[in-house]
Amino acid sequence: MSKKDYITKYREKQTLQLGMSPGKARNRLVNSLLFYFAQTTNRDTCYRCNKLIESVNDFSLDHIKDWRNSGDPVELFFNLENIAFSHKSCNYSAARKLNKKGRITLTCANCNTAFQRLKSEYDHTKSKGRTNFYCNRQCFFESKNYSELSDDEVREIREMAERGDSTRIIGKKFNKSHVSISHCINRTTYKHVK
């Protein structure tokens, strides 16, 4: 029996014994331990609604500051000072509100700057009232080196695309993400350039 077959058989046995995958069981155990420690240290109050969390099934870890829209998402995700406990329903509804807000206004200063520069070129009739600009770990516009392309650069990008160069190759040449290059080629941005 090969090592791979042995591991597969071992995991299948664990799944049968536990009634769920070992990863899911481990996550449940960790969540139960966290809930137990939250109760014993009197930290079982929801960060969002200030009500008591009564069940482990309604217990969740919550980030006080949204790590997805920060300058350093890894640091903010693992920062213990940024962790609180909340009801799952409170946590999920707050995340949905953040996502809706994130679609309308961008939290990253560089994305806001880029959006303001390109706002006049953006066709709002296609978006049906929603912006298509997102702010996340890999910002739609490059967060650290955003600079507007000149009209000549935009023409060169479009010519390179017509010759069949990939958006990644073009992006490396102009120090832009392949997504930004795609939008430039498809005339989502820089519509004024013929």
For the chain, domain boundaries: 3-103, 106-185
- Is the pLDDT at 145 greater than 50? The verdict is no
- Report d(CA 108, CA 70) in Å as an integer: 7
CATH of range 3-103; options 1.10.1670, 1.10.1760, 1.10.30, 1.10.150: 1.10.30
pLDDT of residue 113: 56
Q: How confident is the model at residue 184 (pLDDT cuts 50, 70, 90)?
A: confident
Radius of gyration of the chain (CA): 24
| Residues 6 or more apart whose Cβ sits within 8 Å of residue 130 | 103, 104
pLDDT of residue 1: 80
Tokens coding 11: 């995991």
pLDDT of residue 108: 47
Percent over 70 (pLDDT), the chain: 72
* pLDDT (average), residues 144-167: 80
Position with higher pLDDT, 141 vs 180: 180
Q: How far is CA 49 from CA 57, 86, 89, 90, 118, in A?
A: 17, 8, 10, 7, 39
Q: What is the pLDDT of residues 19-76, one digit of tens each?
A: 998 989 999 999 999 999 999 999 899 988 889 999 999 999 988 887 876 778 888 8
Single pTM value for the model: 0.48
pLDDT of residue 178: 74
Residue with tokens 């946590």: 91
Averaged pLDDT of the chain = 75
Q: How confident is the model at residue 124 (pLDDT cuts 50, 70, 90)?
A: very low
Q: Which range has highest mean pLDDT (12-26, 89-103, 138-152, 162-176)?
A: 12-26
